[in-house]
A and B are shown apart, each in its own frame.
Chain A
């Protein structure tokens, strides 16, 4: 089943004060269940927009998003977005309450006790169980993103949409979180669409990599990444792919 999640010639135009801005043009791809797709491109090329479209947050001019053959029309808890913005946790809820809340809303778990158990299980998964009673403003940027990931995963979505979730973190925290994410992915078998502008990140995570062109955002190249996991970031294969993608981006910038 290679078309679990499918985009069919997506086009999207933003209207800014009567000026039309074509952000996405004729984007198509499809990925299998449990795969990781990385979308790579320069700042402003429409990566966030594409992810919002996939998640059902935006209207589109043309095309459709299909998940298991069903059209995506609005956001749903089956496809959880981890936003680029670190302030996506609800500041009025503790970390635990943030994870608990969507479980309550979606009536997951038989009892309040069970919901708390589920929440703590996912907080453990992202290494935040000791911080469950903290409020989001008391966490670091990386911890906030991990909590948001726990909140999303606890719903057992079939797709996780991630918009540069580790964007402005230091290199070390970043690769730690990437490895953590791979761990989680292995355990949960969730399908991931991961947006980034970091070639290393795309190479470390993706089974498939889409390189995007700018204004309007188009698919410039699709790259299959067959490297075995865990990936060695110093291997020849890794570095060759890096060079290939780098030259691709370099030409256009």
Chain B
């Protein structure tokens, strides 16, 4: 239902775009027609270049998300285990969470240069804090009854975390992952683009930047399409499936 509506509107938008570009109001350097974009899209995929850059971006974001999620869980666990860590983590979140990853770029370039490490660092920063914030909120707001029942049934220590705390906080954890992903994905593209400007190499952001230098407007649009598709796939498909298989199945959605 939802998907069909989106398809329908996308189709209309593309049609409208095609009409505008056929009317000749704008030069194709400013606004290439959908046809040209699709041609550029297919060509660059044939050349393998666009796919390579996409893979580059995807691998780097997975790496960053993985490390970010790992540390987010580590800190969240520490903060429910030790009161002193709870205060520390809370302060850390208050300081770091409002800071956009991109605002840190000049500093990161200063520290790590414009290489891959810096991009990974930006992704970790973008993903870690929202995931941590949501996870700790989830842990802290677990209904008392679940922990009471857990204690009563003899569940102790690390087992309590893995079998009760984590599933009971699933709505929070998933929304943390969603926000973390969205922020990291946007930060990644921006970082690659800015690094492209200062001599970095690789990734979708960099590809867009490079096509601008070549005045390949259609190629820029082709990369944008990939970015949109990946965003939709992850946000609409991956996360929706994850929710359908967990919190929706368990009747734990807040809706």
Contacts and interface: CB of A to CB of B under 8 A. Distances in A.
Interface of A: 55, 57, 74-77, 79-81, 83, 85, 87-88, 90-92, 101-102, 105-106, 135-138, 151, 155
B250 A75 contact: no
Contact of B251 (A75, A81, A91): A91
B153 to A, nearest CB: 4
10 contacts: A57-B148, A75-B148, A77-B154, A80-B152, A85-B145, A87-B143, A91-B250, A92-B167, A105-B154, A138-B251
A135 B152 contact: no
A154 to B, nearest CB: 10
B220 interface: no
B5 to A, nearest CB: 29
Contacts of B246: 92
A92 B148 contact: no
A75 B146 CA distance: 13
Given A80-B152, A105-B159, A92 B145 contact: no
A51 to B, nearest CB: 12
B146 A90 contact: yes
Nearest to B151: A75
A101 B163 contact: yes
Contacts of A105: 153-155, 159, 163
B89 interface: no
B149 A135 contact: no
Interface in B163-210: 163-164, 167-168, 170
Nearest to B155: A105
Given A105-B159, A137-B251, A77 B143 contact: no
Given A77-B153, A155-B153, 13 more contacts: A76-B154, A80-B153, A83-B145, A83-B149, A87-B143, A90-B149, A90-B167, A90-B168, A92-B168, A92-B170, A101-B153, A102-B153, A105-B159
A85 B163 CA distance: 20
B152 A81 contact: yes
Nearest to B146: A90
A135 B249 contact: yes
Contacts of A106: 153-154
The binding surface of chain B is classed by DSSP as helix
Contacts of B143: 87
B252 interface: yes
A74 B148 CA distance: 11
Nearest to A103: B153
Given A75-B152, A76-B154, A105-B155, A90 B251 contact: no
Contacts of A155: 153
A172 B170 CA distance: 37
Given A83-B145, A90-B146, A74 B151 contact: yes
Contact of B152 (A55, A87, A91, A136): A55
A230 B48 CA distance: 81
A90 B165 CA distance: 11
Among A92, A102, A138: residue with most chain B CB under 10 A: A92
A120 B251 CA distance: 23
Contacts of A57: 148, 151-152
B154 A92 contact: no
A136 B252 CA distance: 10
A101 B167 CA distance: 14
A102 B164 CA distance: 12
A155 B152 CA distance: 11
Contacts of B155: 102, 105
A73 to B, nearest CB: 12
B177 to A, nearest CB: 17
Contacts of A79: 152
Nearest to A137: B251
A118 to B, nearest CB: 15
B196 to A, nearest CB: 44
A102 B145 CA distance: 15
A91 to B, nearest CB: 5
Nearest to A77: B154
B68 to A, nearest CB: 25
A230 B224 CA distance: 76
B251 to A, nearest CB: 3
